């Protein structure tokens, strides 16, 4: 391994950024899983269920948008995740 100062700094920076990115991606996956579980458990077409699902989707959207803004996710990847969430919610509402 090179002992150059800039190389050592890049290694340190890359390790730090990898941990930040991992935390963001993990949080996004967790929020998506929470949304999907709530969607599967939602049986009634009640107003409170729809509000709960919209709140969970909003939290996931917020985290995805922040990850895209901070270049953790590519913008197309973020858009694809958001479209998937919207499609799941739409199909669940139509199904009822």
Mean pLDDT of 54-62: 96
Q: For the segment 20-50, what is each residue's pLDDT rounded down to a tens digit?
A: 999 999 999 999 999 999 999 887 677 888 8
For the domain with range 5-95, which CATH number is right: 3.20.10.10, 1.20.58.110, 3.90.550.10, 3.90.580.10? 1.20.58.110
Cα dist from 65 to 33, 48, 58, 69, 96, whole Å = 17, 25, 10, 6, 29
What is the residue-averaged pLDDT of the chain? 92
Q: What is residue 93's predicted lDDT score, i.e. its pLDDT?
A: 80
Q: What is the pTM of this model?
A: 0.85
Percent of residues, the chain, with pLDDT higher than 90: 77
CB atoms within 10 A of CB 51: 10
Place 11 in a pLDDT band, splitting at 50, 70 and 90.
Answer: very high
> Half-sphere exposure of 28 toward its Cβ, with a 13 Å CA cutoff?
23
The residue ranges of every structural domain in the chain are: 5-95
Place 6 in a pLDDT band, splitting at 50, 70 and 90.
Answer: very high
Place 14 in a pLDDT band, splitting at 50, 70 and 90.
Answer: very high
Under a CB-based contact definition with an 8 Å cutoff, are residues 78 and 24 in contact? no
């Amino acid at each position: 391994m090179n002992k150059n100062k800039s190389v050592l700094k890049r290694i340190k920076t890359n390790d730090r950024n990898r941990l930040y990115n991992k935390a963001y991606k993990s949080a996004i996956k967790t929020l998506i899983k929470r949304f999907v579980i709530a969607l599967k458990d939602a049986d009634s077409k009640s107003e409170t269920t729809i509000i709960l699902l919209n709140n969970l989707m909003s939290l996931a959207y917020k985290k995805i948008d922040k990850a895209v803004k901070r270049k953790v996710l590519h913008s197309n990847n973020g858009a694809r995740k958001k479209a998937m969430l919207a499609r799941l919610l739409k199909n669940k509402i139509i199904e009822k």
